Structure 1
């Protein structure tokens, strides 16, 4: 059955409406159904107001992104004149930057597998195409070309997505006075370092670990002592991933990454050091321990030797750092033996720290290549590609941070959409005081407040208390937030707690929260890494080249006995402690909170554009639409909130002329040729005896249910008019026949 568009009342066939706010009956069901109809026709883009909804098709739609499409969506096009498209959003951002001078930002959101990364690439590519100029073509090419490098180190295959971004990315694209690109800077958020040492069933480690086995030649593999991928515990848990290493696709991906290294300008020495770190991380994962109160290494000595060779460390020093801890109290030094579980934690923390800091270093190197050169206008178009809301069977600190970011972005989204409504009302002189939006500020305050302390602040307080545990931290949560509307205390004594997020309740398992939040590296390990002969390892951990030279001179060959370098180790540990004390290193939660504050400052100073990516099914199959899955995402991404705001406000807003044309049968006081004005509209509405409408300066503001009421009034009149027309036509026809017969008889 055809639906009627809100503006003008014209019949619109299902799936044919490009902007769903133009439907008179916009609600959860129509939103869901319209998206499904369009998706099944391979129409993946739809507007809901100013928001672009993009449903992942799971295949490349022919001609959707070819040159002809790029030429259509450029030059400040009229949004209504062309079908919805991500290129239209990019064009709108460029046009707005040029016309207003205000920074623009595109917020791309959706859950894993919804297509955020691909959307971000398409948005960025079209922005660069629109602003291409001979003076900056080189830098623009580099901005696009570095993407495979970032994906290799920051993306992984998950159950939901074969190329899932495991970090958040905020990219600033800066422009010259002539609106050509002068550079780009990337800020990364919350790399999922835990993936280095553990992957859930069916998931994989970061792509780069598989690429190096597929792409490096035999001599390079020998140089980095890589061995076989099947031998390394951090990556050998997924048979599909191991099989992928032998494919042409994997080798091709390596070639892309290798070309990126050259493009960015990595020296051969830098690449050698970086690949050595990757190899060292893999070998570290194969170091095994045994023993109850005093851990000892039980794996073959060649494994730790290979790790140390690649990381530039002395075997004896690293062995001691993994199973013992140097304690310095009041100037007195003692050595404490570690339990096996503690030694495993130290090993894994070392691997995660090496990979995480290497990733940050790569981002810095990319920024040094693509960063702005020379003077410019300071005008920026940014985009945010960040993890969607997460709710797993087991949720930890990573999920808490991710969901906190989504809470903050949802607040920003709601405020913006709500403000757009108010701006429209103000422009038309309408009272919008009765319209409200769901405010999640109470949840944000509970998470972020400094005074009184919120959840993150309590985590930090507990992290520095000597006898605190995950259990005492949770008990403090219960005590502080037990009666909070956004907090649910469990019935059991387990170290769990539940938060009522905007997208649903999430239960968090607090086991390991404090240690993850501290994100500390054992001082013995830090001391060893600061003495590394691998210059990149030293740089990542703020080591001193002189210390490394001195240590090498005293111990002779790498791999010497533990006693030879114990004094060097003590000195390095002392220096590491002093350096860490000066830094006052922040916790994971505090660092993320600070990054989030900077992000929100940037977003609030820019004009936003929203792209909501939707995953139609869990199987990554084309032409498969799971209603409940899509409905949940529409809720997570705020689309249902958008329809609710429209529904509680004035969802139907025809112009005076459209309104009078549509409902003219209700009044004979207005006819063709007469002026369409507020008075005529008011007369019609009063005659119809509708309630709760408003008249603006150019539009009539109606509730979502008003068109149905008006149509019910029009139908009998229109029906009577049709009968009258039929009778009249019959009467006139008979008169004409009689007239002709009379003339014939003459």
Structure 2
């Protein structure tokens, strides 16, 4: 019994979800719990209802929160889910997450700024992304990049739920790309050609080859070849020939021969064509962007040589040491070596030259010079990239094995080159960030950046002018006979390594600043996760640790004397004010033009200048606050004077209006008395006239009544004659009436029979129509009741809303009235005190005057 009482005490007053015939579920309060049933007080009708415990669901505090993700809700049930969606919908939050599922409710209206995001990708980067269709689209794109698997977005729902609109906004990313092309001045035809070439690159990846018994490659899927040929606007036969065949010249006369390629070689041709199309398209887009942005050159400042100034942003890979390092890692690490060498040249060599010129006492800085490593990679005539280009000129005699043997023979004794003890496919380079083992397999293929003549002829034979324009500079003469290439032409062949070296040379000529370094704290992307080993390796690869050591050992901060004086002259003035001395020189190195400092000294001076500026700011703020307070005081004083004037004006006006009202009332009473006296006089005259008229009419009536008996006798005689004549006529017509009655009876019987038949038919028809009307009436009644209930509910909601608004307005009025009354009392008190003071002052003056007399 005690347990039951405790449970009841604990459950009573708690909230619970209970069924609702209109809203499916509603939140109520438990009034009584008898074990199997609950008595719940619902807020809609303010009545108690009895429910079984199984029909209800307990309430959790998370049910009242406006959660963006339903999965964050505790004790999840359909009742709080519906309530959450409803509350978010009422707040114009139509998107809600349920794990990775996005629930979208059609608002049937335009919600301002719902799809106005300058950076769509930033939505999914948040720790708790805001529910939005853009987050779903961006998540699919990121999953495609990370997993390499195709992604699908399923948009489901009933008709009118907003599926089409959701799909439209998912495609908005592509629309923004198209809009950006419009801004760059790319026409619709060019955009179509660009997307066509991108699609052709994707279709090239789907193209496979098989070999027959003679190791000749063919394309088994002719439909894929036809689709790809239509995209490139060439014939399928030309495409298959260019991918599976090779035209070469043989003999002294330069006769032409066609050689069938193997499956591997055909795959290389396919990959080379895809790479060439994509690379040419990328270069064209970059040139087009540069041309479009260079159109504003007139508004850009020019340097001394007339070229436009610019701010370049360099986005490169960091130093890479992977499990398997190939030609790509060599190029990336070569780039980082070049940047490190440029950094060393700028920081060490240039810094020490400046110290010598300025006569600064310094200790020579030691640093790890990576010039030998760069010479190993790029120096002619035996650099690694140079030897790799030589292999590209050897034709069929070139191979990865020959290349690695050439490297071992040439650089085995180099300080930055290591030959592995085991295996003949690897070589090791000592970079500034550590030793990297490169696998030579695939170096020659990845270094080859040229297409053979058949593929170039294929692009030249395309009917797409845009594709022909991309390869115009490298298209061979198609109608001339193939000739044996001279050594001069072979020497000028452009490879990936050669192009990369030239681009790096141009970059080093432009680059004269440091680059930012990005570090990730862990590989699992966990918030606040800290992997010390990973971070340290990244700092070493990026040269950050070396930079810190350099800044500690040298004088990285330098300012001209003019800049130094303009920035720190406040400290000079403060020092002179405290010591009452104003030194005219800083030191005895008057010939120097630059002030050199370490980071610690700069921080000390910056801290001192910040302190002076903070103190000055506090003083200035004090003066400003005093000015503002005085200004506010004067404003309040003027307002009080104005209020007092208004109050005095109101009192005087009230007295005037009251006096005018009394005068008006007195005048009205006088005019009413005069009007009533005139009215009574006219009333008595009218009564006298009416009495005379009534007497005259009475005398005429008496005269008429005296002559009435004679007239009655004459009228009675004529009336009796009329009755006799009428009786004779009635007897005369009685025979005709009997005959007509018989005929009428026969006709009536026949009419009744027809009438009964018509009534029966009419009843059947009416019964059928009544059934139909009953069905239609029932349907109309149900619809009307639904509309009435909806209208009543809306009226109730509007009435409650209006009442709440009135209550809020009444509350605000009460608060304002209280404030007004309080202000009024204060003003009256101030006025009374002022009047008392004035009266007392006047009394004192009079008293003194009286005493003096």
Report matched runs for 1:226-305 at 5 Å.
238-239=148-149, 241=151, 251-291=171-211, 293-305=214-226
Deviation at 1:254, TM superposition (A): 1.1
Contact 1:324 1:337 in 2 (8 A): yes
Report the equivalent of 1:408: 338
In the alignment, the residues of structure 1 paired with residue 474 and residue 352 of structure 2 have an alpha-carbon distance, to the nearest angstrom, of 58
Task: Give secondary structure in 2 for the equivalent of 1:328.
Answer: strand
Which structure ranks higher in relative contact order (CA pairs < 8 Å, sequence separation ≥ 6)? 1
* 1:593 maps to 2:523: no
Report the equivalent of 2:828: none
Report the equivalent of 1:370: 293
Deviation at 1:542, TM superposition (A): 1.4
Report the equivalent of 2:248: 327
Report the equivalent of 1:571: 479
Task: Give secondary structure in 1 for the equivalent of 2:336.
Answer: helix
In the alignment, the residues of structure 1 paired with residue 211 and residue 316 of structure 2 have an alpha-carbon distance, to the nearest angstrom, of 43
Report the equivalent of 2:518: 613
* 1:458 maps to 2:387: yes
Question: Could you report, residue by residue, the CA deviation over 1:486-539 in whole angstroms, capped at 9, with x for unpaired residues?
Answer: 111112343211111111211111112112212222321221111101112111
* 1:628 maps to 2:533: yes
In the alignment, the residues of structure 2 paired with residue 651 and residue 264 of structure 1 have an alpha-carbon distance, to the nearest angstrom, of 42
Classify 1:582/1:674 alpha carbon distance in 2 versus 1 (closer, same or farther; 3 Å): same
Report the equivalent of 1:313: 234
Deviation at 1:598, TM superposition (A): 1.1
Classify 1:244/1:282 alpha carbon distance in 2 versus 1 (closer, same or farther; 3 Å): farther
Contact 2:393 2:491 in 1 (8 A): no
Classify 1:628/1:348 alpha carbon distance in 2 versus 1 (closer, same or farther; 3 Å): same
Task: Give secondary structure in 2 for the equivalent of 1:398.
Answer: helix
Q: Which has the higher helix share?
A: 2
Task: Select the residue among 427, 447, 454 that pairs with 1:517.
Answer: 447
Report the equivalent of 2:275: 352
Deviation at 1:420, TM superposition (A): 6.8
Superposition TM-score, scaled by structure 1 size? 0.50
Classify 1:301/1:434 alpha carbon distance in 2 versus 1 (closer, same or farther; 3 Å): same
Classify 1:644/1:318 alpha carbon distance in 2 versus 1 (closer, same or farther; 3 Å): same
Task: Select the residue among 309, 320, 324 that pairs with 1:380.
Answer: 309
Contact 2:335 2:504 in 1 (8 A): yes
In the alignment, the residues of structure 2 paired with residue 382 and residue 613 of structure 1 have an alpha-carbon distance, to the nearest angstrom, of 20
Contact 2:378 2:386 in 1 (8 A): yes
Report the equivalent of 2:372: 442
Task: Select the residue among 510, 514, 520 that pairs with 1:602.
Answer: 510
In the alignment, the residues of structure 2 paired with residue 253 and residue 373 of structure 1 have an alpha-carbon distance, to the nearest angstrom, of 28
Deviation at 1:468, TM superposition (A): 2.2
Contact 1:429 1:697 in 2 (8 A): no
Unaligned stretches of 5+ residues in structure 1: 1-146, 153-160, 163-209, 215-229, 548-568, 654-670, 681-695, 705-746
Contact 2:428 2:436 in 1 (8 A): yes
In the alignment, the residues of structure 2 paired with residue 331 and residue 644 of structure 1 have an alpha-carbon distance, to the nearest angstrom, of 64
Contact 1:428 1:698 in 2 (8 A): no
Contact 2:256 2:482 in 1 (8 A): no
Task: Give secondary structure in 2 for the equivalent of 1:485.
Answer: coil
Give RMSD over aligned pairs: 4.5
Classify 1:675/1:614 alpha carbon distance in 2 versus 1 (closer, same or farther; 3 Å): farther
Contact 1:286 1:299 in 2 (8 A): no
Classify 1:609/1:642 alpha carbon distance in 2 versus 1 (closer, same or farther; 3 Å): closer
In the alignment, the residues of structure 1 paired with residue 433 and residue 154 of structure 2 have an alpha-carbon distance, to the nearest angstrom, of 36
Larger Rg computed on CA atoms = 2
Task: Give secondary structure in 2 for the equivalent of 1:450.
Answer: coil
Classify 1:698/1:462 alpha carbon distance in 2 versus 1 (closer, same or farther; 3 Å): closer
In the alignment, the residues of structure 1 paired with residue 211 and residue 531 of structure 2 have an alpha-carbon distance, to the nearest angstrom, of 51
Task: Give secondary structure in 1 for the equivalent of 2:430.
Answer: strand
Unaligned stretches of 5+ residues in structure 2: 1-117, 126-136, 156-165, 559-577, 588-592, 602-853
In the alignment, the residues of structure 2 paired with residue 369 and residue 699 of structure 1 have an alpha-carbon distance, to the nearest angstrom, of 44
In the alignment, the residues of structure 2 paired with residue 263 and residue 364 of structure 1 have an alpha-carbon distance, to the nearest angstrom, of 15
Contact 1:413 1:638 in 2 (8 A): no
Question: Could you report, residue by residue, the CA deviation over 1:115-169 in whole angstroms, capped at 9, with x for unpaired residues?
Answer: xxxxxxxxxxxxxxxxxxxxxxxxxxxxxxxx99xx99xxxxxxxx99xxxxxxx
Report the equivalent of 2:425: 495
Classify 1:243/1:481 alpha carbon distance in 2 versus 1 (closer, same or farther; 3 Å): farther
Task: Give secondary structure in 1 for the equivalent of 2:248.
Answer: strand
Classify 1:258/1:679 alpha carbon distance in 2 versus 1 (closer, same or farther; 3 Å): closer
Task: Give secondary structure in 2 for the equivalent of 1:336.
Answer: strand
Classify 1:496/1:322 alpha carbon distance in 2 versus 1 (closer, same or farther; 3 Å): same
Task: Give secondary structure in 2 for the equivalent of 1:273.
Answer: helix
Task: Give secondary structure in 2 for the equivalent of 1:571.
Answer: coil
Contact 1:317 1:528 in 2 (8 A): yes
Deviation at 1:372, TM superposition (A): 4.5
Deviation at 1:628, TM superposition (A): 1.6
Deviation at 1:417, TM superposition (A): 2.6
Classify 1:419/1:616 alpha carbon distance in 2 versus 1 (closer, same or farther; 3 Å): farther
Contact 1:289 1:343 in 2 (8 A): yes
Contact 1:529 1:543 in 2 (8 A): no
In the alignment, the residues of structure 2 paired with residue 315 and residue 650 of structure 1 have an alpha-carbon distance, to the nearest angstrom, of 68
Report the equivalent of 2:549: 644
Report the equivalent of 1:393: 323
